[in-house]
Amino acid sequence: MYMGLNLYQHNQTAYEAADRLMEETGKAAVIHPTGTGKSLIAFRLAEEHPNQKLLWLAPSAYIFQTQLENLKRMQSEEVSFPNIRFLTYAKLTAETGEKETAEAERMEAKEKITVAGSGTGKEKIIAAESRMGKTSEEAPDYIVLDEFHRCGASEWGKSVKKLLARYPKAKVLGLSATNIRYLDGQRDMAEELFEGNIASEMTLGEAIAKKILPAPTYVISMYSYQGELKNLEQRIAVSKNPELRKENEKILEELKRTLENAEGLDRIFAGHMQKKDGKYIVFCSGKAHMEEMTAASREWFRLVDKKPHIYRAVYDDPQSNREFRAFQEDGSCHLKLLFCIDMLNEGVHVEDIDGVILLRPTVSPILYLQQIGRSLSAGKKKQPVIFDIVNNFDNLYSIDCLKNEIEDAFARMPDLAAEKRKFYETFRIVDEARDCRMLFDRLAKNLSASWEVYYRAAECYRKTYGNLCPPKSYVTPEGLPLGSWLMTQRRIRLGRTAGNLSGEQIRRLDDLGMEWESGSERSFRRGYDALKQYVQKNGNADVKASYVAEDGFALGKWMTNIRQNRNLNREQEAALEQLGMVWDQRSRQWERNFHAAEEYYRQHGNLLVPQNYRTKEGVSLGLWVANQRRIYEGKKRGAAPLGELRIKRLDGIGMVWKKEQV
């Protein structure tokens, strides 16, 4: 007899939280890293509601197909979900466009009949209505937005918004490894689509620290650095200090020798690929890059396997399906390498992967963590290996992104101090580029040490542009990072970083028009002033993500970024909190519901809200009030206590705590 889906505990907890949140607000987002089995949460939703229809949207059919296959492998019995209808976002966009075209043609034909009584017009109406019927389906009870951060794309986003507007009663579940679109102005899609209703959130580092995902062996190396060396040579050449230039030239020569003597990639792969017939996913940036990397693979992997089996997968290539399947089914004694572009960055999880190879020119934090996640899977026993093969010195520091997430996770779990020690015995970082990195750091420090060189560059910039406000990323034609240097001078004067500025140096920079207040401080001041005006006008700081002030300042987006990054000093945080800033999204949702309850009390003189009552803004106020009562009575499992302040505030608007008195 079928006993139901077997969910890992973290997914069961996330499902219960999402189910509660959808009942209360109609929408819920789950943000868990790749490999943790997010799709099982949606399958459990379909299983728990067999008589209700689910519309499941995803970026590609590959994603949904492999999710079903992985589910079948996990369950001991055959599982089917006749209540799920699957669509790609592209197909939804096409269907939406077809429906709108058919509607326009129907209205045009109807107008012709009204004017001329045309018989052919009637035939056109019938044809248009027939096509409209083909693009229409029964209204779904639930809509699943898989990889929901992709809904920020222009056309896909429009189609999703039209879909949600067409079915306002459908509850919406979002699944993604991230809610932030890093290359799209840091847009927070959990805020845009779900109004901050996040049922469960977990970083990749947290999943590894909690042993939900296995701790990998992380190997760092380089494969291309000639361009970097040329840039360093140019920067050394502009130095006006003969002694400093001589010292830097000496370090550069030592760096070149160290790079030449470093072990080649063939030996690095041979030394760390424990499973010589294993399966590895190799991430490339584009087709030309893939061709270059596959051509080099015979040399790179010759000490592991002289005849590795090489497969290619490209997101928009129909041939990829066959290559992908062949890679999955390859059980030979040879090394298996799947070179891919985009196709496996998200959603599609491949079983039995022994590791990933990141050939990363540059990549967003989203893609970096998603690619790492390809080798990690909940419940996996073996330790995967990640080869981070970068092509410039700056990328050598990308591992810090993952390390910081792991450290943050342990910092939030002080009771796991003993587990932390054991963890770092298994989480190994093998830095094959360590000696090169140390020399590069010394050189970079020396190149930034000559104050006079940078001052002359600042003078030149002032003469050319009329100001001293280059962007932080600005680099002079000679290779000097002037933007970051000026930012450092500001931070030194404000006492926020180590260093010394003499009175004479400050005077000289003042003469050039130096603005000592940083761009981030100016941005904070503008955001603070806009929020203050909003509070004075509206009586609260509950600003929607889409809100734009009258002067054009995107206040909602600014506040979303502030919450996400939390890169303020304590004084700035305190100033925002005095205006009523709510940092925690769940508290923010409570405040939003409380404001709706206040409005109901003003209109009706009581808080005896019918359980099925919804406000015109879509707040399920009746359910929310009932849930507050259940929490107060200790009958809502897993919910945190209300606390004296919230109880007092609800008392102030006529809350009736005993159900029998309602």
Highest mean pLDDT out of 68-72, 358-362, 385-389, 400-404: 385-389
Question: Each residue of 353-377: b (16+ CB within 10 Å) or e?
Answer: bbbbbbbbeebeebbbbbbbbbbbb
Please say whether the beta carbons of 446 and 244 come within 8 A.
Answer: yes
CA-to-CA distance for 255 and 230, rounded, in angstroms?
A: 12
- Most confident of the following: 32-36, 332-336, 490-494, 502-506: 332-336
What is the mean predicted confidence (pLDDT) over 196-211? 89
Q: Whole-angstrom Cα distance, residue 366 to residue 429? A: 21
Please tell me the predicted confidence (pLDDT) of residue 564: 72
Q: Helix or strand or coil: residue 356?
A: strand
Tell me, what's the pLDDT at 125? 47
Residue ranges of E strands in 123-268: 142-146, 171-176, 180-181, 187-188, 198-201, 217-222
Identify the band that residue 390 occupies on the pLDDT scale cut at 50, 70 and 90: confident
The highest-confidence range among 225-229, 421-425, 601-605, by mean pLDDT, is 601-605
State the pLDDT at residue 56: 93
The residue among 350 and 354 whose pLDDT is bigger is 354
First CA to last CA distance, the chain: 44
For residue 165, pLDDT beyond 80: yes
Q: How many Cβ atoms are within 10 Å of 510's Cβ, its own excluded? A: 12
Provide the pLDDT for residue 116: 44
> By the 8 A CB rule, do 662 and 656 touch?
yes
Q: Is the dihedral of CA 450, 453, 457, 458 positive or negative?
A: positive
Query: Could you tell me the two tokens for 275?
Result: 């499973």
Spatial separation of the C-alpha atoms in residues 607 and 541, rounded to whole Å = 24
Asked if 144 contacts 42 with a C-beta cutoff of 8 angstroms, the reply is yes
Residue 134: pLDDT over 50: no
| pLDDT over threshold 80, residue 555 | yes
Name 613's Cβ contacts closer than 8 Å, sequence gap at least 6.
620, 621, 622
pLDDT band at 302 (very low <50, low <70, confident <90, very high): very high
pLDDT per position as a tens digit, 455-503: 888 999 999 999 888 887 788 886 677 887 888 788 777 666 656 777 7
Q: Please, how many CA atoms are within 13 Å of residue 146, restricted to the half-sphere of its CB?
A: 28
Please report how many Cα atoms fall inside a 13 Å half-sphere around the Cα of residue 554, on the Cβ side: 10
In this structure, the number of other CB atoms found within 10 A of the CB of residue 282 comes to 23
List the structure tokens of 632: 């107060």
71 with 39: CB under 8 angstroms?
yes
Would the pLDDT of 1 be above 50?
Answer: no
Integer CA distances (angstroms), 495 to 73, 131, 234, 251, 481, in order: 58, 68, 32, 31, 21
Kindly state the DSSP code that residue 393 receives in the 8-state scheme. G
- Of residues 112 and 588, the one with the higher pLDDT is 588
Cβ atoms of residues 311 and 344 within 8 Å: no
Give the pLDDT confidence score for residue 577 in this predicted structure. 76
Helix-then-strand count for the chain, H and E: 26, 15
pTM of the model: 0.58
Q: What is the DSSP letter of 123?
A: H
Q: Which of 576, 534, 586 is nearest to 555 (CA)?
A: 534
CA–CA dist 163, 548 (Å, integer):
25
d(CA 377, CA 357): 16
* pLDDT(128) > 70: no
- Secondary structure class of 56 (helix, strand, coil): strand
Q: What is the spatial distance between Cα 36 and Cα 177, in angstroms, rounded to a whole number?
A: 9
Tokens at residue 242, please? 């003969």
Mean of per-residue pLDDT scores for the chain: 80
What pLDDT does residue 127 have? 52
Q: For the purposes of burial, counting CB atoms within 10 Å of the CB of 534, is it exposed (0-12), middle (13-18) or buried (19 or more)?
A: buried
pLDDT digits (tens, 9 = 90+) for 618-630: 889 999 999 999 8
Confidence of residue 311 (pLDDT cuts 50, 70, 90): very high
d(CA 436, CA 259): 7
Tell me the per-residue pLDDT of 38-55, one tens digit each, with 9 for 90 and over: 888 999 999 999 999 999
Lowest pLDDT segment from 239-253, 258-272, 499-513, 622-636: 239-253
Tell the residue number behind the tokens 């600014």, with chain if given: 558
Mean pLDDT of 292-296: 88
Mean pLDDT value across residues 320-328? 81
Degrees (nearest 5) of the Cα angle 475, 477, 480? 45
Secondary structure letter of residue 332 according to DSSP: S
- Summarised one tens digit per residue, pLDDT across range 504-550 is 888 889 889 888 866 667 778 888 888 989 888 888 887 888 889 88
User: Range with the lowest mean pLDDT among 51-55, 137-141, 222-226?
Assistant: 222-226
Angle at 377 between CA 417 and CA 324, to 5 degrees: 155
Q: What percent of the chain has pLDDT over 90?
A: 23
Average pLDDT over residues 184-195: 85
